[in-house]
Chain A
Amino acid sequence: MFLNKNRFFSNTDLIGFALLALLIFVMLPVGLDVFRLNLFGKYLTYAFVAIGLVLCWGAGGILSLGQGVFFGLGGYCMAMFLKLEASSPEATKIQSTPGIPDFMDWNQIAEIPFWWQPFHSLTFSLVAVIIIPVIFAFIIGVAMFRRRVGGVYFAIITQAIAAILTILIIGQQGYTGGVNGITDLRTLKGWDIRTDDAKVILYFVNGGLLFACLFIAQIIRKSKLGRILIAMRDQEDRVRFSGYDVANFKIFVFCAGAAFAAVGGAMFTLQVGFMSPSFVGIVPSIEMVIFCAVGGRLSIIGAVYGALLVNLAKTTFSELFPELWLLGLGGLFIAVVLAFPNGLAGIYKDYVEPRIALIFKRKMHIDEDVSKYDPLEAAAD
Chain B
Amino acid sequence: MSDTPKKPNKQMEASRRSVLMGGTALAASLFVPKFLRAADYPTAAVNTTGLAVTDDEVTIGILHSITGTMSISETGSVQAEKLAIEQINAQGGILGRKIKYIQEDGASDWPTFAEKAKKLLVNDKVASVMGCWTSASRKAVLPVFEQYNGFLYYPTFYEGLEQSPNVIYTGQEATQQIIAGLNWVAETKGAKSFYLLGSDYIWPRTSNKIARKHIEKLGLKVVGEEYYPLGHTQFNSVINKIRLKKPDVIYAIVVGGSNVAFYKQLKAAGIDMTKEKPLLLTISVTEDEIRGIGGENIVGAYACMKYFQSLDNPNNIAFVEEFKKMWGDEIVIGDVTQAAYLGPWLWKAAVEKAGSFDIDKVRAASPGIELTTAPEGYVKVHENHHLWSKTRVGHAKLDGQYEVVFETAELVEPDPFPKGYQ
Measured CB to CB, the residues of A under 8 A from B are 35, 38-39, 42, 94, 96, 103, 106-108, 167, 170-171, 173, 178-181, 183-186, 194, 272-274, 276, 278-279, 315, 318-319, 322-323, 325-326
Known pairs A35-B118, A194-B143; A276 contacts B110 (CB<8 A): yes
Contact A170 B201 (CB under 8 A): yes
Contact A322 B201 (CB under 8 A): no
Q: Report B106-128 CB contacts with A as 1/0, cut-off 8 Å.
A: 01011110111011001100000
CB distance from A283 to the nearest CB of B (A): 9
Contact B103 A272 (CB under 8 A): no
Contact A274 B140 (CB under 8 A): yes
Contact B202 A173 (CB under 8 A): yes
A38 and B200 CA atoms in complex are apart in Å by 33
Contact A171 B200 (CB under 8 A): yes
Contact B140 A39 (CB under 8 A): no
Contact B201 A173 (CB under 8 A): yes
Report the interface size class on chain B: 35 or more
Residues of B within 8 A of A276 (CB): 110-111, 136, 140
B237 interfacial by beta-carbon distance below 8 Å: no
Contact A178 B66 (CB under 8 A): no
Q: List 17 A-B contacts (CB under 8 A).
A: A94-B417, A103-B202, A171-B200, A173-B200, A173-B201, A179-B201, A180-B201, A194-B147, A272-B115, A273-B114, A276-B110, A278-B110, A315-B115, A318-B105, A322-B104, A325-B67, A326-B107
Residues of B within 8 A of A180 (CB): 110, 135-136, 139-140, 201-202
Contact B205 A107 (CB under 8 A): yes
Contact A183 B111 (CB under 8 A): no
B161 interfacial by beta-carbon distance below 8 Å: yes
Residues of A within 8 A of B66 (CB): 322-323
Residues of A within 8 A of B202 (CB): 103, 106-107, 173, 178-180
Contact A35 B135 (CB under 8 A): no
Q: Which listed residue, A103, A107, A179, A184, touches B143 by the CB 8 Å rule? A: A184
B9 interfacial by beta-carbon distance below 8 Å: no
A179 and B122 CA atoms in complex are apart in Å by 27
B422 interfacial by beta-carbon distance below 8 Å: yes
CB distance from A10 to the nearest CB of B (A): 38
A103 and B200 CA atoms in complex are apart in Å by 14
Across the interface, name the chain B residue whose C-beta is closest to A107.
B205
B229 interfacial by beta-carbon distance below 8 Å: yes
A326 and B67 CA atoms in complex are apart in Å by 8
Residues of A within 8 A of B103 (CB): 322
B412 interfacial by beta-carbon distance below 8 Å: no
Residues of A within 8 A of B89 (CB): none
Contact A274 B111 (CB under 8 A): yes
B206 interfacial by beta-carbon distance below 8 Å: yes
Residues of A within 8 A of B123 (CB): 35
Contact A173 B105 (CB under 8 A): no
A180 and B136 CA atoms in complex are apart in Å by 4
A260 and B348 CA atoms in complex are apart in Å by 49
CB distance from B196 to the nearest CB of A (A): 15
Contact A184 B139 (CB under 8 A): yes
Residues of A within 8 A of B205 (CB): 106-107, 173
Contact A278 B109 (CB under 8 A): yes
B34 interfacial by beta-carbon distance below 8 Å: no
B142 interfacial by beta-carbon distance below 8 Å: yes
In the complex, which residues 319-363 of chain B have their Cβ closer than 8 Å to any Cβ of chain A? none
Across the interface, name the chain A residue whose C-beta is closest to B103.
A322
Known pairs A178-B202, A183-B142, A274-B143; A39 contacts B161 (CB<8 A): no
Across the interface, name the chain B residue whose C-beta is closest to A183.
B139
Q: Which listed residue, A103, A183, A322, touches B140 by the CB 8 Å rule? A: A183
Q: Report B147-187 CB contacts with A as 1/0, cut-off 8 Å.
A: 10000000000010100000000000000000000000000
Across the interface, name the chain B residue whose C-beta is closest to A39.
B115
B230 interfacial by beta-carbon distance below 8 Å: yes
Residues of A within 8 A of B115 (CB): 39, 42, 272, 315
B209 interfacial by beta-carbon distance below 8 Å: yes
Contact A35 B67 (CB under 8 A): no
Across the interface, name the chain B residue whose C-beta is closest to A322.
B105
A325 and B202 CA atoms in complex are apart in Å by 30
Contact B206 A106 (CB under 8 A): yes
Contact B110 A181 (CB under 8 A): yes
Q: Which listed residue, A106, A185, A322, touches B161 by the CB 8 Å rule? A: A106
A171 and B122 CA atoms in complex are apart in Å by 35
Contact A178 B200 (CB under 8 A): yes
A323 and B422 CA atoms in complex are apart in Å by 40
Residues of A within 8 A of B142 (CB): 183-184
Q: Report B127-143 CB contacts with A as 1/0, cut-off 8 Å.
A: 00000001110011011
Contact B114 A272 (CB under 8 A): yes
Residues of B within 8 A of A106 (CB): 159, 161, 202, 205-206
